[in-house]
Structure 1
Amino acid sequence: MSVQAHLGELAAKHKALEAELEDAMSHPATSDAEIAELKRKKLRIKDEMTKLSGQRTH
């Protein structure tokens, strides 16, 4: 898989997590731990995207 394709896949996952996070935050039954876990997953994806973007420019 090319770096560009991988970045596209990660961007799609990031967007899906963003939607899931917004949905979770709108429901009072969602625990703080669940919200924190979604935020951690989103951040890991963002970090990986940043890392891959840096590799692509070299």
Structure 2
Amino acid sequence: MSLTSHLQELKKKHDSLSDAVEKAQRSPGSDDLEVSRLKKEKLHLKEEINRLTPA
């Protein structure tokens, strides 16, 4: 897998997690631990994207 396609996949996952976090936060019975887990995963992906993106 090329670096470009890997970055695209990471960005897709990041966007998907963004949507999931927003949806969970709007849900009245949302689980705070699940929201926190999603946010941590999203942050990890963002850090990985930044690390792999050429300067």
TM-score range, shorter chain: over 0.9
Count matched residues.
55
Tell me the residue number matched to 1:45: 45
Distance in 1 separating the partners of 2:43 and 2:32: 16
- TM-score, length basis structure 2: 0.92
Q: Where do 5+ consecutive residues of structure 1 fail to align?
A: none
Larger Rg: 1
1:20 aligns with 2:20: yes
- TM-score, length basis structure 1: 0.88
RMSD of aligned Cα (Å)? 0.9
List 4+ stretches of structure 1 deviating above 4 A.
none
Percent of residue pairs bearing the same amino acid type: 38
